[in-house]
Amino acid sequence: GAVVSQHPSWVICKSGTSVKIECRSLDFQATTMFWYRQFPKQSLMLMATSNEGSKATYEQGVEKDKFLINHASLTLSTLTVTSAHPEDSSFYICSARASGRTPYNEQFFGPGTRLTVL
Amino acid sequence: GESVGLHLPTLSVQEGDNSIINCAYSNSASDYFIWYKQESGKGPQFIIDIRSNMDKRQGQRVTVLLNKTVKHLSLQIAATQPGDSAVYFCAESVTGGGNKLTFGTGTQLKVEL
Protein backbone atom coordinates (compact mmCIF):
# COMPACT_ATOMS: atom_id res chain seq x y z
CA GLY A 1 0.00 0.00 0.00
CA ALA A 2 0.82 3.73 0.01
CA VAL A 3 1.97 3.92 -3.58
CA VAL A 4 2.57 7.24 -5.28
CA SER A 5 3.04 7.53 -9.02
CA GLN A 6 4.29 10.32 -11.23
CA HIS A 7 3.76 10.96 -14.89
CA PRO A 8 5.71 11.38 -17.01
CA SER A 9 8.86 9.74 -15.68
CA TRP A 10 10.93 11.90 -17.97
CA VAL A 11 10.28 14.74 -20.37
CA ILE A 12 12.33 16.81 -22.76
CA CYS A 13 10.95 20.14 -23.89
CA LYS A 14 12.01 23.25 -25.72
CA SER A 15 12.79 26.46 -23.89
CA GLY A 16 9.70 28.60 -23.45
CA THR A 17 7.19 25.78 -23.39
CA SER A 18 5.18 24.57 -20.40
CA VAL A 19 5.32 21.12 -18.90
CA LYS A 20 2.78 19.45 -16.61
CA ILE A 21 3.77 16.74 -14.14
CA GLU A 22 1.15 14.61 -12.42
CA CYS A 23 1.39 13.07 -8.98
CA ARG A 24 -1.14 10.45 -7.95
CA SER A 25 -1.72 8.53 -4.76
CA LEU A 26 -2.86 5.15 -6.03
CA ASP A 27 -4.29 3.42 -3.00
CA PHE A 28 -4.92 6.11 -0.45
CA GLN A 29 -6.30 9.58 -0.17
CA ALA A 30 -3.90 12.43 0.33
CA THR A 31 -5.10 15.77 1.58
CA THR A 32 -1.54 17.05 1.43
CA MET A 33 1.04 16.56 -1.28
CA PHE A 34 4.49 18.05 -1.50
CA TRP A 35 6.64 18.97 -4.47
CA TYR A 36 10.42 18.80 -4.30
CA ARG A 37 13.18 19.63 -6.72
CA GLN A 38 16.51 17.87 -6.74
CA PHE A 39 19.55 18.92 -8.72
CA PRO A 40 22.30 16.38 -9.47
CA LYS A 41 24.20 15.22 -6.41
CA GLN A 42 22.16 17.49 -4.18
CA SER A 43 19.44 17.03 -1.63
CA LEU A 44 15.72 17.39 -2.03
CA MET A 45 14.49 20.93 -1.70
CA LEU A 46 10.86 21.51 -0.86
CA MET A 47 9.18 23.75 -3.41
CA ALA A 48 5.60 23.84 -2.20
CA THR A 49 2.92 22.20 -0.15
CA SER A 50 -0.26 21.33 -1.96
CA ASN A 51 -3.49 20.99 -0.06
CA GLU A 52 -6.60 19.57 -1.66
CA GLY A 53 -9.11 22.24 -2.50
CA SER A 54 -6.95 25.18 -1.55
CA LYS A 55 -4.04 27.19 -2.86
CA ALA A 56 -0.56 25.80 -2.57
CA THR A 57 1.92 27.19 -0.10
CA TYR A 58 5.25 27.97 -1.70
CA GLU A 59 8.63 27.97 -0.04
CA GLN A 60 10.68 31.12 0.00
CA GLY A 61 12.32 31.78 -3.33
CA VAL A 62 9.98 29.59 -5.38
CA GLU A 63 8.02 31.54 -7.99
CA LYS A 64 4.36 30.61 -7.70
CA ASP A 65 3.58 32.01 -11.15
CA LYS A 66 6.23 29.84 -12.72
CA PHE A 67 5.47 26.63 -10.85
CA LEU A 68 1.71 26.25 -10.90
CA ILE A 69 0.30 23.67 -8.55
CA ASN A 70 -3.20 22.28 -8.62
CA HIS A 71 -4.55 19.75 -6.13
CA ALA A 72 -8.05 19.20 -7.43
CA SER A 73 -8.75 15.86 -5.84
CA LEU A 74 -7.62 13.72 -2.94
CA THR A 75 -5.52 11.57 -5.24
CA LEU A 76 -4.07 13.99 -7.77
CA SER A 77 -1.78 16.99 -7.69
CA THR A 78 -0.19 18.58 -10.72
CA LEU A 79 2.87 20.77 -11.12
CA THR A 80 3.11 22.88 -14.24
CA VAL A 81 6.44 24.45 -15.08
CA THR A 82 5.52 27.45 -17.20
CA SER A 83 7.84 28.97 -19.78
CA ALA A 84 10.52 26.47 -18.91
CA HIS A 85 14.18 27.38 -19.32
CA PRO A 86 17.33 25.25 -19.18
CA GLU A 87 17.91 26.21 -15.54
CA ASP A 88 14.59 24.52 -14.69
CA SER A 89 16.06 21.20 -15.76
CA SER A 90 15.94 19.05 -12.66
CA PHE A 91 14.47 15.99 -11.01
CA TYR A 92 11.01 16.78 -9.65
CA ILE A 93 9.66 14.54 -6.92
CA CYS A 94 6.30 14.57 -5.24
CA SER A 95 5.22 13.03 -1.98
CA ALA A 96 1.87 12.47 -0.36
CA ARG A 97 0.75 12.38 3.22
CA ALA A 98 -2.07 9.96 3.83
CA SER A 99 -5.14 11.46 5.44
CA GLY A 100 -5.39 10.25 9.01
CA ARG A 101 -3.03 7.38 8.35
CA THR A 102 -0.45 8.19 10.97
CA PRO A 103 -0.21 10.80 13.66
CA TYR A 104 3.19 11.79 12.43
CA ASN A 105 4.47 13.27 9.23
CA GLU A 106 5.18 10.18 7.20
CA GLN A 107 5.30 10.97 3.52
CA PHE A 108 5.23 8.55 0.61
CA PHE A 109 7.34 9.53 -2.34
CA GLY A 110 6.80 9.20 -6.04
CA PRO A 111 9.49 7.90 -8.42
CA GLY A 112 10.32 11.37 -9.71
CA THR A 113 10.17 13.10 -13.08
CA ARG A 114 13.31 14.07 -14.94
CA LEU A 115 12.80 17.36 -16.78
CA THR A 116 15.28 18.45 -19.41
CA VAL A 117 14.77 21.82 -21.05
CA LEU A 118 16.70 22.38 -24.26
CA GLY B 1 17.48 28.94 8.39
CA GLU B 2 17.28 25.58 10.12
CA SER B 3 19.12 22.80 8.35
CA VAL B 4 20.02 19.17 8.62
CA GLY B 5 23.53 18.20 7.69
CA LEU B 6 25.70 15.13 7.27
CA HIS B 7 29.33 14.67 8.14
CA LEU B 8 30.45 12.37 5.31
CA PRO B 9 29.48 12.89 1.70
CA THR B 10 30.80 9.45 0.67
CA LEU B 11 31.16 6.26 2.66
CA SER B 12 32.85 3.17 1.26
CA VAL B 13 32.49 -0.14 3.05
CA GLN B 14 33.30 -3.73 2.33
CA GLU B 15 30.47 -6.13 1.70
CA GLY B 16 29.48 -7.76 4.95
CA ASP B 17 30.75 -4.96 7.14
CA ASN B 18 28.50 -2.69 9.16
CA SER B 19 27.84 0.84 7.92
CA ILE B 20 27.20 3.90 10.03
CA ILE B 21 25.82 7.04 8.44
CA ASN B 22 25.61 10.15 10.56
CA CYS B 23 23.42 13.21 10.52
CA ALA B 24 23.41 16.41 12.55
CA TYR B 25 20.30 18.49 12.85
CA SER B 26 19.90 21.98 14.18
CA ASN B 27 16.20 22.45 14.88
CA SER B 28 15.68 21.53 18.51
CA ALA B 29 11.93 21.54 17.91
CA SER B 30 12.13 18.62 15.49
CA ASP B 31 10.37 15.60 16.92
CA TYR B 32 10.22 13.16 14.03
CA PHE B 33 13.13 11.86 12.01
CA ILE B 34 13.30 9.62 8.99
CA TRP B 35 16.01 7.93 6.99
CA TYR B 36 15.52 7.53 3.26
CA LYS B 37 17.43 5.57 0.65
CA GLN B 38 17.60 6.95 -2.84
CA GLU B 39 18.89 4.98 -5.78
CA SER B 40 19.97 6.73 -8.92
CA GLY B 41 17.05 8.15 -10.88
CA LYS B 42 14.45 7.11 -8.33
CA GLY B 43 12.46 8.71 -5.56
CA PRO B 44 13.38 8.37 -1.88
CA GLN B 45 12.52 5.09 -0.24
CA PHE B 46 11.53 5.02 3.42
CA ILE B 47 13.93 3.00 5.57
CA ILE B 48 13.16 3.71 9.17
CA ASP B 49 11.86 6.48 11.37
CA ILE B 50 12.12 7.51 14.97
CA ARG B 51 10.22 9.86 17.18
CA SER B 52 11.82 12.15 19.70
CA ASN B 53 10.51 10.17 22.67
CA MET B 54 12.81 7.33 21.67
CA ASP B 55 16.59 7.06 21.38
CA LYS B 56 16.83 3.84 19.44
CA ARG B 57 14.74 1.92 16.99
CA GLN B 58 15.56 -1.25 15.11
CA GLY B 59 14.35 -2.61 11.84
CA GLN B 60 15.50 -5.37 9.58
CA ARG B 61 19.29 -4.95 9.41
CA VAL B 62 18.95 -1.26 10.24
CA THR B 63 19.07 0.67 13.47
CA VAL B 64 18.49 4.36 14.01
CA LEU B 65 19.94 6.13 17.01
CA LEU B 66 18.82 9.54 18.18
CA ASN B 67 20.79 11.72 20.55
CA LYS B 68 18.73 14.79 21.27
CA THR B 69 21.34 16.26 23.58
CA VAL B 70 23.76 16.81 20.74
CA LYS B 71 21.15 16.82 17.98
CA HIS B 72 22.61 13.80 16.26
CA LEU B 73 21.04 10.99 14.29
CA SER B 74 22.69 7.89 12.89
CA LEU B 75 21.73 5.00 10.68
CA GLN B 76 23.44 1.68 11.18
CA ILE B 77 23.24 -0.96 8.48
CA ALA B 78 24.32 -4.42 9.50
CA ALA B 79 26.05 -6.79 7.08
CA THR B 80 26.06 -4.26 4.26
CA GLN B 81 25.18 -5.71 0.88
CA PRO B 82 25.81 -4.44 -2.67
CA GLY B 83 22.12 -3.63 -2.92
CA ASP B 84 22.57 -1.12 -0.12
CA SER B 85 24.64 1.11 -2.39
CA ALA B 86 22.69 4.35 -2.72
CA VAL B 87 22.46 7.86 -1.33
CA TYR B 88 21.03 8.05 2.16
CA PHE B 89 19.24 11.11 3.46
CA CYS B 90 18.06 11.95 6.91
CA ALA B 91 15.04 14.19 7.24
CA GLU B 92 13.51 16.01 10.15
CA SER B 93 10.06 17.29 10.86
CA VAL B 94 8.17 19.22 13.49
CA THR B 95 4.74 17.89 14.35
CA GLY B 96 2.28 20.64 13.63
CA GLY B 97 4.79 22.43 11.47
CA GLY B 98 2.87 21.93 8.28
CA ASN B 99 4.10 18.35 7.99
CA LYS B 100 7.14 19.58 6.12
CA LEU B 101 10.33 17.58 5.91
CA THR B 102 13.78 19.14 5.88
CA PHE B 103 16.33 16.92 4.21
CA GLY B 104 20.00 16.61 4.99
CA THR B 105 22.69 16.82 2.35
CA GLY B 106 22.96 13.08 1.78
CA THR B 107 25.66 10.42 2.03
CA GLN B 108 26.68 8.23 -0.87
CA LEU B 109 27.19 4.69 0.38
CA LYS B 110 29.40 2.52 -1.80
CA VAL B 111 29.66 -1.16 -1.06
CA GLU B 112 32.82 -2.78 -2.30
CA LEU B 113 32.92 -6.45 -3.10
Distance from the Cα of B91 to chain A's closest Cα (Å) equals: 10
pLDDT at position B2 is: 45
Query: Considering only alpha carbons, which residue of chain B is nearest residue A31?
Result: B99
Best residue in A36, A44, A45 for a mutation probing chain B (most B CBs within 10 Å): A44
Which residues in chain B land under pLDDT 70? 1-8, 97
Q: Is B96 on the interface with A (CB under 8 A)?
A: no
pLDDT score of A97 = 87
Question: Identity (one letter) of the amino acid at B89?
Answer: F
pLDDT at A52: 84
Q: Per residue in B74-99, pLDDT tens? A: 999 999 999 999 999 999 998 876 77
Region A109-113: what's the mean pLDDT? 97
Q: What is the pLDDT of residue A104?
A: 58
User: Above 90 in pLDDT, residue A100?
Assistant: no
CB of B41 within 8 Å of a chain A CB? The answer is: yes
**Region A95-114 average pLDDT:** 80
For residue B99, give Cα distances in angstroms to A12, A66, A69, A99, B70: 32, 24, 18, 12, 23
Return the pLDDT at A1.
65
**Contacts with A99 from chain B: Cβ below 8 Å:** none
Strand B86-93 relative to strand B72-77: parallel, antiparallel, unpaired?
unpaired
CB-based contact A109 B41, cutoff 8 Å: no
Task: Find the CB nearest B32 among A43, A95, A104.
Answer: A104
Q: Given this model, what pLDDT does residue A115 score? A: 98
- Average pLDDT (A3-17) is 97
Residue of chain A nearest B43, judged by CA positions: A111
pLDDT in tens, A23-76: 999 988 888 999 999 998 899 999 999 988 888 999 999 999 999 999 888 899
| Partner A, chain B 60-89, Cβ-Cβ below 8 Å | 89
Of A42, A44, A49, the CB nearest to B44: A44
Task: With CA atoms as reference, report the closest residue to A78 among A22, A17, A36, A11.
Answer: A22
Is it true that the peptide bond before A111 is cis, omega within 30 degrees of 0?
no
pLDDT of residue A27: 87
> What integer pLDDT is reported at residue A102 of this predicted model?
58
Name the pLDDT band for A118 (thresholds 50, 70, 90). very high
Q: Give the model's pLDDT for residue B1.
A: 40
Report how many Cβ contacts below 8 Å link chain A to chain B: 60
